[in-house]
Each structure stands twice: as structure tokens, then as C-alpha cells.
Chain A
């Protein structure tokens, strides 16, 4: 029987060629989609923890997330067929006035790997667009990202727009270089995450998953 440890390792080291072919092999060997997903998530968690502890650099995290994403694309049809349902839908985007997307992309990929259905709205997203996407996809979580100090007010405006729509069961998680916990408290966000790996824990916590 095929050992899924190799898949975990391929994800962790960001070897996407190997990760995708091992995913396919695992499917061909009739392993359950859930067990394949679990193996991937372990790899992603391990690199995520290292990133959280500042043991690795951004490109290492980026290639692991890419390997995960491409392997997920192969696994997804089988996952869906097997009756797998994402735990919740999350909407994510960089707030209006900000075009930075590295951090947001990382969080987006990590969320996808942690059983969330992620709607990525891209960069420079207006408050209205966030609100519309939450309604359209019945999202339970919103991730707001900003890299510039000057776009932090947009974050506040977005939080206010979401709150004013009385979408009360939607949790808002914010993050990005200039953002702090006290800023999150100040603008009324439900949570703050200092890095991509913590964003998974925070998301699950806010959604009451773990």
C-alpha cells in the first residue's frame, strides 16, 4: 500500500511536481480522498508551524502552498464525489487602495487546504464588493488584508460596511504588516492574525471548528 508520508513531505518541501503525481498515484491506488487530504494538510501544517516560528522564509512557504493548491485541484473532484463538504465558505481580499497580494494569497491557499471554501476577491476590493460576495456565497468568514499603513482606514470602512448589513454571523479576521491586535479591537474586527499560518488557527477558532 502506498505510503502517504511521501506526499506530506512533497507538500512540506514545496515539490509540486512530486506532490501532484503522488496525489494522482494515491487516487489511482484507491486511497480515500479524505486520507489524501489529511496527508497534505499535515505537510502544510508542518511548514506553517515553521513559518510561524520564523524558521523559514516566504518563498519556502509560497512553494509549499502552491504544491498544496495544485494537488488539491487534482483531488477536489474525488473529494466532492465522496461527499466531502467544506466546513464553511470564506471570502478574502486586500482592502481598497492596496494592491499587495502575497500575504492574502498565502492565507487563501492555506485556508483552502484547511477545509474551507475560499472566494478570493483579489486586491483593491471595495467594501461593497466584500458585502456583495458575503451575501452571494453565504460566507461565514471574511479575511481582510492590508500591507500599507495608508490603507488601514479602508479596513475600518470595510468592517463597518459588513457590520451595518447585519450579517451578524459573519466573522471578520484581519491581517497584514501594519495591523495589530489593538487595531483589530479598535475597528471592531473579530480577530487578528500576525501571519498566514496563524490565520488558519484563527479562522477555525472564530468558526468554532477546533
Chain B
């Protein structure tokens, strides 16, 4: 029975002193702290080993805040106070009502009981023990606290993954996908499912490498991949509503996936379904146009082609082509063209004995100076040192 339920009018001021004394006594055996009972507004009622004098309004607010935080996170959280003390608290509850709280506090100096070079006081353990003691006395709603702890843990995991995603270089995976996308699309269209899976497997290998053992990160990458392939499907003519519905269901299912063993069949089902949707719509769409444009660019790299030439080759107005290109490839036409030219030049530098001038020309650069500048910007070294470096490696 809840100790507070014995009281006719549940009120924290009527909390049995003997219960508090028992908690305080046991807790103080292990920890060098002060401990007190406060009302929801932070007003102190009973205390043991607490600091002398009245608490200021600010102080009371702080103690009340600690009780609220203890409830919010489902376990005590340590607050540092300007008076160089640290506090943590557990709410006293009857059902969902907060009647007040039990607060523990210690001086900053007590944090290092055996000297500054020694391990500090295990505050996390101190917090946990206080909560368990109060739960054992049935003075709080442990179910509510547990639920809050689970929620907090989930939020923490989510925040950590978001943080990792920010740190990760997602652009590598995204660029690989964009490079592979036109071929993926055309193999799906041609009904060459085997080749399509091979392309997806290349992307998956890169994803798994980037994410390593961090499973939540693997999930995030997979989510990104599925969302991107769904976008491709819609652009290829699949019914957006159907794709959205499938996508939503898949993402909901993904949330409860906790291991690679569960993830593998999920991914297989989602990818096959999406490829079916793409294959079912053999229309000529923007993705196909961009595929043709990129093929045209590759075939004419050595020529002085520009945006207008490529737009004309795929029967689009230059401005519409520019928009479509950027939307689809993720970077502008000129930027992509220079990248392709530099990649081509790098290949020639390794594979041939052509001079730098000849290579610049063969890669479509009119001026050698511009070639050298572009090459350095994208590859981090000059064409000459790139060739030298590669030759040294081979040697």
C-alpha cells in the first residue's frame, strides 16, 4: 500500500517522519550528502544533514525545478547551483499527482573525496540509489518514472543518431547513388533485375562500410536509400500515392527493427516492391532524359560542349534542362561537367603517357591554366603531382 494512502488527505507535510528518517539514515550511510523533503513549490519540510539557514526564493525554485526534472526524465538529474552545491531529486507522487519530492544535495568539494586526481563521487549511482529507495518505500509512481526513462532513452538515441548523421559524410553515399541512379533505372526498365541488384549492392556495401557497427546509423542510411529510390520510382512514373503509402508503412516497420537479421528481409521486400513499381511504368520521364544527357556528355567530353548543346540533344529548353538537371543530379550542369572532365583527365594521367596539355585538350579543357586550376580544386593536387604520386604507388 502506498504509504501516503494511509493518510486521509494526501499531503506531503503529513509524510510519516519515520519513513523519511529511515530513507535519510540509509542514504547517508553511503553518500556524503544532505537530504530533505520539499513541497511542489520547493518549500523545505523535513531535513537531515541539510545546510543551516532559510532557503531563498531562488533556492526554493531550484529545489522545485529539481523535483520536476526528476519526474520529466524518470530519474534524478544533477543540477549545479551557484552556491557551489549539487542537487538531485525524486518526486513524491500519489498516482499521477506530484505531492513534492525528496532532494539530496552535496558540496562541490565533496565530489572528489579522495583528492582531485582520484575518481570522483559516482553521482549517477547516487541518483539511482535514491530513486530505488523511494520506490521501495512506495512513495512515488515507479511506472510513470519508468515510462519517462524509456521515453528519455529513446529521445537520447534519436538525438545521438542525428548528431552522428551530421558528422557523417553522407555526401559520399548520396553521390554514389546519383552516379548509379541512371543505370539502375535503365536496368530496372529493361527488366534486368540481376544487374539492378548488383548496382544496389554496390551502394549497400558503401553504406555498411560508412556506418560500421552503429546499427542506428545503418538504419538511417537505409531509410535515406529507400526514400531516394521511392523518389526515383515516382519520377519514373509510379503512382505517388501508392509509393507514399508503401513508404510510410515501410518506415513505420523500420522503427521497430533492432537487428541486422530483421533489417535484411525488410530491405529485400521494400527494394523489390519499389523496383516492381518502377518496372511497371515504362514511360519516358525526366530520369530517362537525364540519363541520355549524361551519356551524351560522356560521349562528347573532349568537345567544347555547353549546357545549350546538351539541352538541345535531349530536346529540352536550356532553362528547363538546367532546373531538371540540378534537381536530379543534385549539382549544377557546369559543376558536373567539370567533374566529369577532371575524372576523365585523371584516368588519362594514370593510363597514358600523354602530355598534360594533350590531356587537358582531350578532356575538353580549352585552356591548360583552367584545367590545372580545376584539377587542383577537385583532386587536391596538380595534374603533374597526381601522375607522379600514382606512378610512385605503382612502383
Q: Which residue of B lies closest to A60 (CB)?
A: B264
| Contacting residues of chain B (172-194) with chain A, CB-CB under 8 angstroms | 193-194
Tell me if A16 and B261 are in contact (CB < 8 A).
Answer: yes
Tell me if B261 and A14 are in contact (CB < 8 A).
Answer: yes
Q: Which residue of A lies closest to B262 (CB)?
A: A63
Known pairs A62-B264, A63-B260; A57 contacts B271 (CB<8 A):
yes
Chain A residues with Cβ under 8 A from B198's Cβ? 54
Tell me if A102 and B268 are in contact (CB < 8 A).
Answer: no
Add 12 more A-B contacts to A54-B197, A62-B208, A153-B390 (CB < 8 A). A14-B261, A54-B193, A54-B198, A56-B197, A56-B268, A57-B201, A59-B204, A63-B261, A99-B209, A147-B209, A153-B394, A154-B393
Q: Which residue of A lies closest to B197 (CB)?
A: A54
| Contacting residues of chain A (28-66) with chain B, CB-CB under 8 angstroms | 53-60, 62-63, 66
Chain B residues with Cβ under 8 A from A157's Cβ? 393-394
Tell me if B209 and A63 are in contact (CB < 8 A).
Answer: no
Tell me if B194 and A55 are in contact (CB < 8 A).
Answer: yes
- Separation of A153 and B394 alpha carbons in the complex (Å): 5
CB-CB contacts of A140-166 with B at 8 A, as 1s and 0s? Answer: 000000010010011011000000000
Tell me if A62 and B194 are in contact (CB < 8 A).
Answer: no
- Separation of A61 and B211 alpha carbons in the complex (Å): 17
- Which of A14, A102, A147 gathers the greatest number of chain B CB atoms within 10 Å? A102
Q: Which residue of B lies closest to A18 (CB)?
A: B261
Indicate whether B6 reaches chain A with its CB closer than 8 angstroms: no
- CB contact between A63 and one of B194, B200, B264, B271 (< 8 Å): that residue: B264
Indicate whether B118 reaches chain A with its CB closer than 8 angstroms: no
- CB contact between B260 and one of A55, A59, A150, A177 (< 8 Å): that residue: A59
Chain B residues with Cβ under 8 A from A100's Cβ? 205, 209
Indicate whether A103 reaches chain B with its CB closer than 8 angstroms: yes
- Separation of A55 and B201 alpha carbons in the complex (Å): 11
Interface class of chain B by DSSP: helix
Tell me if B200 and A57 are in contact (CB < 8 A).
Answer: yes
- Which of A59, A62, A100, A177 gathers the greatest number of chain B CB atoms within 10 Å? A59
Tell me if B202 and A177 are in contact (CB < 8 A).
Answer: yes
Chain A residues with Cβ under 8 A from B265's Cβ? 60
Tell me if B268 and A60 are in contact (CB < 8 A).
Answer: yes
Indicate whether B338 reaches chain A with its CB closer than 8 angstroms: no
Chain A residues with Cβ under 8 A from B394's Cβ? 153, 156-157
Chain A residues with Cβ under 8 A from B200's Cβ? 57
- Separation of A147 and B394 alpha carbons in the complex (Å): 17
> Shortest Cβ distance from B389 into chain A, in angstroms?
9
- Separation of A53 and B201 alpha carbons in the complex (Å): 12
- Separation of A103 and B205 alpha carbons in the complex (Å): 8
Chain A residues with Cβ under 8 A from B390's Cβ? 150, 153
- Separation of A153 and B388 alpha carbons in the complex (Å): 13
Indicate whether B254 reaches chain A with its CB closer than 8 angstroms: no
Q: Which residue of B lies closest to A105 (CB)?
A: B208
- Separation of A156 and B209 alpha carbons in the complex (Å): 23
> Shortest Cβ distance from A164 into chain B, in angstroms?
14
A-B contact pairs, 13 of them (CB 8 A): A14-B264, A54-B198, A55-B197, A56-B268, A58-B208, A59-B263, A62-B264, A103-B205, A147-B209, A153-B390, A153-B394, A177-B202, A177-B205
Indicate whether B195 reaches chain A with its CB closer than 8 angstroms: yes
- Separation of A17 and B265 alpha carbons in the complex (Å): 16
Indicate whether B362 reaches chain A with its CB closer than 8 angstroms: no
| Contacting residues of chain B (342-393) with chain A, CB-CB under 8 angstroms | 390, 393
- Separation of A100 and B176 alpha carbons in the complex (Å): 15
CB-CB contacts of A1-25 with B at 8 A, as 1s and 0s? Answer: 0000000000000111000000000
Known pairs A102-B208, A156-B394; A57 contacts B261 (CB<8 A):
no
Chain B residues with Cβ under 8 A from A14's Cβ? 260-261, 264
Chain A residues with Cβ under 8 A from B208's Cβ? 58-59, 62, 102
Chain A residues with Cβ under 8 A from B194's Cβ? 53-55
> Shortest Cβ distance from A59 into chain B, in angstroms?
4
Tell me if A57 and B204 are in contact (CB < 8 A).
Answer: yes
- CB contact between A58 and one of B193, B195, B201, B261 (< 8 Å): that residue: B201
Indicate whether B46 reaches chain A with its CB closer than 8 angstroms: no
- Separation of A126 and B217 alpha carbons in the complex (Å): 30
> Shortest Cβ distance from A12 into chain B, in angstroms?
12
| Contacting residues of chain B (203-228) with chain A, CB-CB under 8 angstroms | 204-205, 208-209
- Separation of A100 and B172 alpha carbons in the complex (Å): 14
- Separation of A103 and B208 alpha carbons in the complex (Å): 10
Q: Which residue of A lies closest to B207 (CB)?
A: A58
> Shortest Cβ distance from A11 into chain B, in angstroms?
12
Indicate whether A201 reaches chain B with its CB closer than 8 angstroms: no
Tell me if B205 and A57 are in contact (CB < 8 A).
Answer: no
- Per CB-CB distance, the 3 closest pairs between chain A and chain B, nearest first, are A153-B393, A54-B194, A59-B264
Q: Which residue of B lies closest to A53 (CB)?
A: B194
- Separation of A147 and B172 alpha carbons in the complex (Å): 14
Indicate whether B62 reaches chain A with its CB closer than 8 angstroms: no
CB-CB contacts of A48-89 with B at 8 A, as 1s and 0s? Answer: 000001111111101100100000000000000000000000
